[in-house]
């Protein structure tokens, strides 16, 4: 069996609409005995919600364990560690993390600060967090995406802008639970998951992740403008469909 990992937003779909040809080519991969992992930087939804969306759009069964998100990587990372975790993020993210860890509401008692995305970050709160990090509290971000897609043409400031603010205030580089960071690739490596191809639309996350797990990197031009050179990818295609046509007939 061959394995492929694919990004979701901008590669398989935009918002709630599949990119043309994706449904047919995804099913063609399954018919050709490919196992597909779904590697996303979406940090605001559970793997159940993401799997249901994929099932509805693609009309196939999705293994929950094939959906890997920063929250999945975080949950795995926290296993067996008795950390008290302070979360900067939306109520949904706090709720999710409270189910997988000892969530604390007081920064001073935290072992680890997790930075998530909010629509309107409060600078005073971020400055307090930076102070805590400077006094020794560990910190990591769910991802470093500078923008967050809310529709095919609309973006909001992403988690990465919060991470960048903290990094410049602390002069430290934050670990990331997203595809851009080593914790995400360690998840695959530690579980012995072998990937033949990683496909996505972002050089700074998808292609970086492919390099980190030492697999063939495939860039598709179906969504964003990349600010890192596309020549970092092993191969470039216009769409997921075009890539699939190149590996199965
Ligand atoms: Mg993407």
Instruction: Dump pLDDT digits (tens) for 36-82.
Output: 999 999 998 999 999 999 999 999 999 999 999 999 999 999 998 99
What separation, in Å, do the N-terminal and C-terminal C-alpha atoms of the chain show? Answer: 16
pLDDT of 90 reads 92
- Asked if the structure places residue 63 within a domain, the reply is yes
99 and 126 co-located in one domain = yes
Span from the CA of 116 to the centroid of ligand 1 (angstroms): 18
127 and 169 co-located in one domain = yes
113 and 172 co-located in one domain = yes
Residue at a domain's end among 176, 208, 229: 176
Residue at a domain's end among 160, 176, 192: 176
- Asked if the structure places residue 112 within a domain, the reply is yes
156 and 193 co-located in one domain = no
Span from the CA of 7 to the centroid of ligand 1 (angstroms): 6
Residue 155 confidence class, pLDDT cut points 50, 70, 90? confident
Cα R_g (the chain), whole angstroms: 18
- Asked if the structure places residue 200 within a domain, the reply is yes
Backbone angles phi, psi at 200, to 5 degrees: -170, 175
Span from the CA of 238 to the centroid of ligand 1 (angstroms): 14
Span from the CA of 128 to the centroid of ligand 1 (angstroms): 32
184 and 165 co-located in one domain = no
- Asked if the structure places residue 22 within a domain, the reply is yes
What is the rounded distance in angstroms from the CA atom of residue 115 to the CA atom of residue 204?
19
pLDDT of 238 reads 94
pLDDT of 148 reads 78
Q: Which of 141, 179, 137, 138 is nearest to 159 (CA)?
A: 141
167 and 195 co-located in one domain = no
Mean pLDDT of 134-158: 87
Span from the CA of 220 to the centroid of ligand 1 (angstroms): 9
Mean pLDDT of 227-242: 91
For 175-194, the pLDDT digits (tens) are 999 999 999 999 999 999 99
Span from the CA of 86 to the centroid of ligand 1 (angstroms): 28
| Structural domain harbouring 104 | 82-176
151 and 215 co-located in one domain = no
pLDDT of 157 reads 86
89 and 140 co-located in one domain = yes
- Asked if the structure places residue 76 within a domain, the reply is no
Span from the CA of 235 to the centroid of ligand 1 (angstroms): 16
Residue 205 has pLDDT above 80, yes or no: yes
Residue at a domain's end among 176, 197, 225: 176
Span from the CA of 203 to the centroid of ligand 1 (angstroms): 9
What is the rounded distance in angstroms from the CA atom of residue 31 to the CA atom of residue 54?
17
| Contact (CB, 8 A) for 176 and 184 | yes
128 and 95 co-located in one domain = yes
11 and 50 co-located in one domain = yes
168 and 236 co-located in one domain = no
**Predicted TM-score of the model (pTM):** 0.94
Span from the CA of 201 to the centroid of ligand 1 (angstroms): 5
Span from the CA of 13 to the centroid of ligand 1 (angstroms): 9
Residue 249 confidence class, pLDDT cut points 50, 70, 90? confident
Span from the CA of 209 to the centroid of ligand 1 (angstroms): 12
- Asked if the structure places residue 32 within a domain, the reply is yes
For 70-121, the pLDDT digits (tens) are 999 999 999 989 999 999 999 999 999 999 999 998 999 999 999 999 989 9
Span from the CA of 149 to the centroid of ligand 1 (angstroms): 9
Neighbouring CB atoms inside 10 A of 160's CB total 26
- Asked if the structure places residue 42 within a domain, the reply is yes
| Contact (CB, 8 A) for 145 and 205 | yes
For Cα atoms 237, 242, 244, give the angle at the middle one, nearest 5 degrees: 110
Span from the CA of 10 to the centroid of ligand 1 (angstroms): 4
Here the CATH number for the domain that contains residue 235 is 3.40.50.1000
33 and 111 co-located in one domain = no
Q: What's the mean pLDDT when you consider all of the chain?
A: 94
Span from the CA of 34 to the centroid of ligand 1 (angstroms): 21
Into how many domains does the chain fold? 2
- Asked if the structure places residue 75 within a domain, the reply is no
């Amino acid at each position: 069996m061959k394995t492929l990992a694919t990004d979701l937003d901008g590669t398989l779909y935009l918002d709630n609409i599949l990119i043309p040809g994706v449904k047919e080519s995804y099913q063609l991969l399954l018919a050709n005995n490919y196992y597909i992992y779904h590697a996303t930087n979406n940090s605001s939804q559970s793997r159940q919600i993401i799997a249901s969306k994929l099932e509805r759009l693609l009309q196939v069964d999705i293994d929950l364990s094939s959906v890997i998100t920063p929250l999945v990587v975080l949950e795995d990372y926290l296993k067996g560690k008795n950390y008290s975790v302070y979360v900067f993020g939306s109520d949904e993210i706090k709720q999710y993390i409270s189910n997988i860890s000892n969530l604390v509401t007081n920064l001073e008692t935290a072992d680890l600060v997790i930075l998530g995305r909010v629509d309107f970050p409060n600078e005073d709160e971020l400055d307090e967090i930076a102070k805590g990090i400077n006094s020794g509290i560990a910190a990591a971000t769910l991802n470093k995406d500078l923008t967050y897609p809310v529709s095919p043409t609309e973006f909001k400031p992403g988690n990465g802008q919060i991470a960048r603010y903290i990094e410049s205030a602390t002069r430290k580089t934050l670990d990331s639970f997203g595809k851009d960071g080593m914790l995400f690739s360690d998840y695959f490596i530690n579980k012995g998951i072998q990937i033949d191809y990683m496909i996505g639309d972002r050089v700074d996350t998808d292609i970086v992740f492919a390099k980190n797990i030492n697999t063939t990197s495939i860039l598709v031009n179906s969504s964003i403008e990349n600010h890192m050179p596309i020549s970092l990818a092993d191969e470039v295609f216009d769409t997921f469909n075009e890539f699939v046509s190149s590996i199965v007939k």
